[in-house]
Structure 1
Amino acid sequence: MDDELLNLLRSVDTPSVCNAIEVAQGQRGFNGFTRGTMLASAPDQVMAGYAVTAKIKALAPPDETADVIRARRMAYYRAMSEGPKPSIAVVEDEDFPNCIGAYWGEVNTTVHKGFGMSGALTNGVMRDLGDLAPNFPVVAGSIGPSHGFVHVTELGTPVKIFGLIVAHGDFVHADRHGAVVIPPEVLPKLGAALETMFAAEKIVLEPAREEGFDFEAFEKAWSAFEKART
């Protein structure tokens, strides 16, 4: 990951990235994004990085032995610590839509941030709002007080987060709007695509912000915008 591109991705919101992917692909129809409304622990923060995937459950106690559960938990933390950087923890709660286990709280966000990770994406629960690790955004499905019987069930397998399938190693961009998986062939083109998209948007935005803007000015600007956009 090029540092310049990474810094750019961390400076723009996820809707901009979603649009820019279509610019890079030269067509509409990109569908690698979450569906529905998600909750953001830090609405002004963005996360971008390679997915380290896992699955959890919390509604009922695990039916495996304590040794097995502990070994998988330690394997989980090892995977999170050793994943390629920048990295994001992408964790599917298999109890969805009846999730109760707030896996993401003060302890886990602090641990994962300590591993050098950039944030967490989950369809599950977060808690300890106000005490989460700073500069470690969490985009989650809900907020709740309990950890239930939370335990790790799978590591490194594809997960589903609000309709978005994320494989281990996918490059994810997420913020308060939800998340996208950036196709690998698009990544090298994304910087130029964002520049092209922002330039096209200015064709409408700049006249619309000027005094005296009216329908005639809009019609002229929109015609030019349609020729420039994807």
Structure 2
Amino acid sequence: MDDALLALLRTVDTPTVCNAIEVAQGKRGFDAFTRGTLISSAPSAPAIVGYARTAKIAAASPSTEDPATIRTRRMDYYRHMASGPAPSLVVIEDTDFPDCVGAFWGEINATVHRGLGLYGVLTNGVMRDLGDVPDDFPMLAGSLGPSHAFVHVEAIGVPVTVFGLTVHPGDLVHADRHGAVVVPPEIIPVLAASIEKLQATEKLILEPARQPGFDLAKFEAAWATFEAART
């Protein structure tokens, strides 16, 4: 992913990326996206784009491991988050889902991760401290809650599943208030052109619909042109 593609991806929403992937593949059926409704800490923020750093957490019950092991794994977690290709984002699976109770994400962790160079988080777990987290670190979570409960890291750098989307370490993820998508690596070289083609195709119906005097006859003519051009 070069700088031009990164800049473009930060200006478009995740539904656009989903549609552009279908344009690149020349068919419908792409399914590497989240299901259900996520909560965004910053609904008007630009999309989070980056290579995934992954982990699994739990919070409903105390860990049965000794405290030294827990502390060591926590530091290993932060080392993992600070390593690898940039730009990066965090993808965390809370294994208590759908009954998540403890917020791993709040003012401290959001600030630390942003300081380590990450651009946001996607999780099925809990977030809190919404008025205190960095403005440039959007959090997409499954729920809101006041407590961290017994939250602890269980696994680092492993495949995770969040709202039906499986994410592997290093996957290119695009996420915003609509959800998230994993970009297939083989379409990255043509993704910018696919987005531009998609946007041009959508104008075939959007521009006539926004003009004064738009009626059913003009819609039928515009839709025929749109249908012939779309994937």
TM-score by length of 1: 0.99
Aligned residue for 2:71? 70
Aligned residue for 2:188? 187
Aligned residue for 1:21? 21
Structure 2 counterpart of 1:17, one-letter code: V
Equivalenced residues, count: 230
Question: Post-superposition shift, 1:187?
Answer: 1.1
Structure 2 counterpart of 1:35, one-letter code: R
Find the aligned partners of 1:161 and 1:84 in 2 and give their Cα distance: 22
Aligned residue for 1:8? 8
Find the aligned partners of 1:141 and 1:189 in 2 and give their Cα distance: 32
Structure 1 counterpart of 2:50, one-letter code: G
Find the aligned partners of 2:110 and 2:189 in 1 and give their Cα distance: 30
Aligned residue for 2:37? 37
Question: Which consecutive unaligned segments of at least 5 residues does structure 1 have?
Answer: none
Question: Post-superposition shift, 1:83?
Answer: 2.6
Find the aligned partners of 2:156 and 2:144 in 1 and give their Cα distance: 24
Aligned counterparts, 1:31-180, within 5 A: 31-45=31-45, 46-180=47-181
Find the aligned partners of 1:227 and 1:165 in 2 and give their Cα distance: 34
Find the aligned partners of 1:97 and 1:208 in 2 and give their Cα distance: 42
**3-state DSSP class of the match of 1:103?**
strand
Question: Post-superposition shift, 1:213?
Answer: 0.2
**3-state DSSP class of the match of 1:153?**
strand
Name segments (4+ residues, structure 1) moved above 4 Å.
none
Is 1:218 matched up with 2:219? Answer: yes
TM-score by length of 2: 0.99
Deviations 1:119-142 (A, max 9, x none): 100000000011111210011000
Identity over the aligned pairs, expressed in percent? 63
Structure 2 counterpart of 1:199, one-letter code: A
Structure 1 counterpart of 2:124, one-letter code: N
Find the aligned partners of 1:141 and 1:173 in 2 and give their Cα distance: 17
Aligned residue for 2:229? 228
Find the aligned partners of 1:83 and 1:100 in 2 and give their Cα distance: 30
**3-state DSSP class of the match of 2:149?**
coil
